[in-house]
Amino acid sequence: MLILENLDVYYGEARALANVSLTLGDGEIACVIGPNGAGKTTLVNALARLLPVRAGRIRLGGEDITHLTPQELADRGLALIPEGRRLFTTMTVEENLELGCYRPAARAHRAQGLEGIYAMFPILRERRWQIAGTLSGGQQQMVAIGRALMARPKLLLIDEPSLGLAPVVITQVFETIKAIHASGVSILLIEQNAAKALSVSQRAYVLDCGAIVAQGSPEELRQSREINAAYLGAGA
Amino acid sequence: MSVTLLGQSILSGIFSGSLYALLGLGLTLSWRYLKIINLAHFAFIFLAAYLTYQLAGPGGLPPLLVIALVAPLFFVMGYAQQAFLEHFKVDEFASIIITFGMTILAETFIQWIWSADFVRLETHFLRGSWELGPFFLPKQEMLMSAAALALCLVTAAFLRFTWIGKALRAGLDNPQIAASFGVPNKKLSLLIAGIAGALAGVGGAFMALLFTLAPSQIYSWFGVVLAAVLLGRVGSATGVFAAGLLIGVSEAITMAVTAPAWAPLAPFTLLILILVFWPERV
């Protein structure tokens, strides 16, 4: 589904990602974990074509997408749940969801898509006319998830879904991610909360200082003493 | 003061207020959605007015046909202007200076073609007034006010309910995320600039119908139209109409009870009070 080959990304002259390669299979869910400042969000933004790539290639379903625009990427079935939700905060919940299916090809599914999202998150149906910026953090995350699902993505990029949420809400969010994956969507999950991320993933990458420092199945990473100590925390 | 005089004053205030709204509508759109404070909007209005004068006066074309010609022409001009401003990555404040420069160029161009003297469109189109009891309803003003109201309502509905309107608001809120859901921000900017240009064209056509034209008058419209844009909240199509009416009617009543020279007193006092006590309103 998604293959990154030796990706280099710079902010000006500062290198943020060095030689990053990773693979996500069809229908797979993989996670990229790592500490704050490791370059996780840079990776997401490069993938979503919001940041330029200096060197390397990104391939999606066999096609080289390294230099496509974000709009062209949306047409190829990639949707983003960005860090900090980044909703259209002055617009209503329903308008946010509708923007998810803005692409002409997706608009036909608008009514059906809304029904699906409201069935998944009944609170959003109640709040459909509320301005999105006034929702609680957990509800905003629901809108961000719903907005991305409205695009009917083949590949979903999820960046730090647990950020700023209460533990009970985080558990719900990860349940939702599992359900989305079970429905056949390939997912690349970027998450600081390594324990949670590993618990839903089939494959994991550890990113630190802009480079992939370890990869493998969640079990393999958990069994590696160094990885465990450095990235998963004592209790993980 | 008689009730009839007061009533007629309010009517004339509604007419001039509608014109402020019509002239301000494109301006409020480009200010909010393009972050361009487009003073050249006034130049477009006057270019359209002179073109209307030329085509409908000496040219002899029916005014409604001229409006139908001028609107798409100025759509193209607005589009081209935005492409130019985007090419040079002009920001909100630089836009004031650059578009003011464009306005001076347009004024010079008008003087060169039509001279600095007054010109007046002579037409039989909708001459005269309807009479309603003691009140006179001039036909041309009525048409202009109806057009202003219709355009403001259609624009507001367009922004509120259509896919393009929603995409414009999303792009304003968060351009990167909007782009990642397929919103073509750049194309929409050019579209809204074209619409603003077309609105300037329509406004200019009515300006030619209602007023004697002189190139130097371009600047006399800045204050009152920008006041309507600000009072109505930048970007609001219904707001600019309501604010236009408020300004027009308060001016007309001030004129009726004091003297014409005092006309700007009421609206600008109101604007200053709002800017001082309720700055988040604009």
Which of B173, B174, B184 has its CB closest to that of A71? B184
pLDDT in tens, B189-228: 999 999 999 999 999 999 999 999 999 999 999 999 999 9
Q: DSSP string spanning B212-278?
A: -B-GGGGGGGHHHHHHHHHHT-TT-HHHHHHHHHHHHHHHHHHHHHS-GGGTTHHHHHHHHHHHHH-
Measured distance CA(B189)–CA(A157) in Å, rounded? 28
- Would the CB atoms of B166 and A98 count as touching at under 8 Å? yes
Question: 3-state class of B205 per DSSP?
Answer: helix
Predicted confidence at residue B178, as pLDDT, reads 96
Cα distances from A112 to residues A81, A106, A141, B150, B199, in angstroms, run 20, 11, 21, 34, 37
The strand pairing partners of A188, in sequence order, are A30, A157
**Sign of the C-alpha dihedral, residues B145, B146, B151, B156?**
positive
pLDDT in tens, A85-118: 999 999 999 999 999 999 988 899 999 999 999 9
DSSP state of B130: E
pLDDT in tens, A10-65: 998 899 999 999 999 999 999 999 988 889 999 999 999 889 999 999 999 989 99
Measured distance CA(B121)–CA(A55) in Å, rounded? 64
pLDDT in tens, B229-269: 999 999 999 999 999 999 999 999 998 888 888 888 888 88
Is residue B279 over pLDDT 90?
no
- Would the CB atoms of A88 and B169 count as touching at under 8 Å? yes
Predicted confidence at residue A234, as pLDDT, reads 46
- Would the CB atoms of A90 and B173 count as touching at under 8 Å? yes
CA–CA min distance B147, chain A (Å):
29
Torsion of CA A124, A130, A133, A138, to 10 degrees: -20
B104 touches chain A (CB under 8 A): no
pLDDT over 90 for what percent of chain A?
Answer: 81
CATH domain A23-51+65-77+155-236 topology: Rossmann fold (3.40.50)
- Would the CB atoms of B183 and A75 count as touching at under 8 Å? no
B178 touches chain A (CB under 8 A): yes
What number of other Cβ atoms are within 10 A of residue B221's Cβ?
19
List the structure tokens of A144.
């961000």
Show residues of chain A in contact with B177, CB under 8 Å.
Answer: 80, 82, 86, 88
> Which distant-in-sequence residues (6+ apart) come within 8 Å of B186 by Cβ?
B86
Is residue A147 over pLDDT 50?
yes
Q: Average pLDDT for residues B38-52, to the nearest whole number?
A: 97
Phi, psi angle pair for A188, to nearest 5°? -110, 120
Domain boundary assignment for chain A:
23-51+65-77+155-236, 88-152
Closest A-chain CA to B163: A102
* Residue B282's pLDDT band (cuts 50, 70, 90): low
CA–CA min distance A102, chain B (Å):
6
> Which distant-in-sequence residues (6+ apart) come within 8 Å of B159 by Cβ?
B165, B168, B169, B237
Measured distance CA(B5)–CA(B125) in Å, rounded? 27
* CA-closest candidate to residue B246, choices B10, B1, B7: B10
CA terminus-to-terminus distance, chain A:
30
Is residue B153 over pLDDT 50?
yes
Phi-psi region of A62 (alpha: psi -120 to 50; beta: other; left: phi over 0): left
**Model ipTM value:** 0.91
Maximal C-alpha separation, chain B: 62
List the structure tokens of A15.
């290198």
- Would the CB atoms of A88 and B174 count as touching at under 8 Å? yes
DSSP state of B119: B
pLDDT over 70 for what percent of chain B?
Answer: 99
Phi-psi region of A61 (alpha: psi -120 to 50; beta: other; left: phi over 0): left
Measured distance CA(B107)–CA(B50) in Å, rounded? 11
Measured distance CA(A20)–CA(A18) in Å, rounded? 6
Show residues of chain A in contact with B184, CB under 8 Å.
Answer: 71
Measured distance CA(B16)–CA(B280) in Å, rounded? 27
B277 touches chain A (CB under 8 A): no
Show residues of chain A in contact with B166, CB under 8 Å.
Answer: 91, 95, 98-99, 102
List the structure tokens of A48.
């979503």
Lowest mean pLDDT among A224-228, B89-93, B163-167, B191-195: A224-228
Measured distance CA(A106)–CA(B33) in Å, rounded? 25
Is residue A233 over pLDDT 70?
no
> Which distant-in-sequence residues (6+ apart) come within 8 Å of B150 by Cβ?
none
Burial class (CB in 10 A: 0-12, 13-18, 19+), B244: buried
> Which distant-in-sequence residues (6+ apart) come within 8 Å of A72 by Cβ?
A49, A65
Letter for the amino acid at B216? Answer: S
* Residue A236's pLDDT band (cuts 50, 70, 90): very low
Q: Are the C-beta atoms of residues B74 and B44 closer than 8 Å to each other?
A: yes
Letter for the amino acid at A63? Answer: E
Q: DSSP string spanning chain A?
A: -EEEEEEEEEETTEEEEEEEEEEE-TT-EEEEE--TTSSHHHHHHHHTTSS--SEEEEEETTEE-TT--HHHHHHTTEEEE-TT----TTSBHHHHHHHHT-SHHHHTTHHHHHHHHHHH-HHHHHTTTSBGGGS-HHHHHHHHHHHHHHT--SEEEEE-TTTT--HHHHHHHHHHHHHHHHTT-EEEEEES-HHHHHHH-SEEEEEETTEEEEEE-HHHHHH-HHHIIIII-TT-
Give the A:B interface size as CB pairs under 8 Å.
Answer: 67
CA–CA min distance A49, chain B (Å):
8
Show residues of chain A in contact with B170, CB under 8 Å.
Answer: 88, 91, 95, 99, 102
Which of B167, B176, B180 has its CB closest to that of A74? B180
Show residues of chain A in contact with B162, CB under 8 Å.
Answer: none
CA–CA min distance B160, chain A (Å):
10
